[in-house]
Copies of this chain bind each other. A is one copy, B any other.
């Protein structure tokens, strides 16, 4: 298994390139990360933002850690972005990703991504509104793919989420989006598929099945988020907890589908009130379990 770390586990704890690289490479022995916008907010004024983002990129470079992409985190996911009910909010969603692309380019990182956005309670139940807003979102991503290419990025990624009020959520949704974007964008737009999202049974029932996703959209999957879950909520627990995603299950899937390139990024979200000492020791213990599989 090709293991990497989404940096969500370390937000507010280990800040700045050298401190974070020491944790990732020195303490955890990992050489691939997905940078989270929870460390650097794309909305910060460009000059200050890019200086801080470059400091992380430089810290990782010195430590031999590859930053494979940058990705929206908790702060970004708080807003509705491309599927918001008002055009003003949708325009801000587009500006948010445009700014994230710029920040990613400043880090000399090749890829940026996020979930697509959230319909309001009212729009989610209105098929015509959903369709109109979806089509506008597809156009916005096509436009942003041109910006991404100009800025030197080589791909963008979308993350499906386990909510009927967002899009894409199912494998079929994801396939539709990939087909609607394919060939129209200046850089490829691909999928970041999260194990805990796919296995969310309250929404997907018997289709909560990662093999079904491989059959349906396997060719479009750029990488995976891995997390432990009970399948009842989107837990983002670590693998030190019991749940339905065992290291052995991840390993069997990797072998069964003959995966080689699509990094398994651990995306672990700790309560803010967990201690730094617990987070670090728990990350070490979880990585030991994954490496032993």
A residues apposed to B, CB below 8 Å: 11-16, 19, 38, 41, 43-45, 48, 51-52, 73-80, 84-86, 88-89, 91-92, 95, 118, 120-122, 124, 161-165, 200, 202-203, 233-234, 271-273, 275-276
Contact B88 A12 (CB under 8 A): no
B-side contacts of A273, CB under 8 Å: 161-163, 200, 202-203, 233-234
Chain B's closest residue to A121 (CB) is B276
The secondary-structure label for the interface of chain A is: loop
B-side contacts of A12, CB under 8 Å: 78-80, 118, 120, 165
B-side contacts of A161, CB under 8 Å: 272-273
B-side contacts of A122, CB under 8 Å: 14, 19
Q: How far is the CB of A37 from chain B (nearest CB, A)?
A: 9
Q: How far is the CB of A194 from chain B (nearest CB, A)?
A: 12
Q: How far is the CA of A15 from the CA of B89 in the complex (A)?
A: 10
Q: How far is the CB of A205 from chain B (nearest CB, A)?
A: 14
Q: How far is the CA of A79 from the CA of B13 in the complex (A)?
A: 10
Contact A276 B75 (CB under 8 A): no
Contact (A77, B234) CB under 8 Å given A41-B43, A44-B92: no
Could you list 17 further interchain pairs (A-B, Cβ under 8 angstroms) beyond the known A19-B121, A43-B44?
A13-B121, A15-B84, A15-B85, A16-B85, A16-B86, A19-B85, A48-B92, A51-B88, A74-B74, A74-B75, A75-B78, A121-B276, A124-B276, A163-B272, A164-B275, A200-B273, A202-B273
B-side contacts of A202, CB under 8 Å: 273
B-side contacts of A91, CB under 8 Å: 48
Contact A52 B88 (CB under 8 A): yes
Q: How far is the CA of A276 from the CA of B121 in the complex (A)?
A: 6
Q: How far is the CA of A52 from the CA of B48 in the complex (A)?
A: 26
Q: How far is the CA of A131 from the CA of B86 in the complex (A)?
A: 45
Contact A15 B80 (CB under 8 A): yes
B-side contacts of A43, CB under 8 Å: 41, 43-44
Q: How far is the CA of A48 from the CA of B86 in the complex (A)?
A: 12
B-side contacts of A165, CB under 8 Å: 12-13, 275-276
Q: How far is the CB of A123 from chain B (nearest CB, A)?
A: 9
Q: Which of B52, B95, B120 contacts A15 (CB 8 A)?
A: B120
B-side contacts of A79, CB under 8 Å: 12, 38, 41, 75
Q: How far is the CB of A114 from chain B (nearest CB, A)?
A: 13
Contact B86 A15 (CB under 8 A): yes
12 pairs across A/B with beta carbons < 8 Å? A11-B78, A12-B78, A13-B165, A15-B120, A16-B120, A41-B79, A41-B92, A43-B43, A75-B78, A161-B272, A164-B275, A203-B273
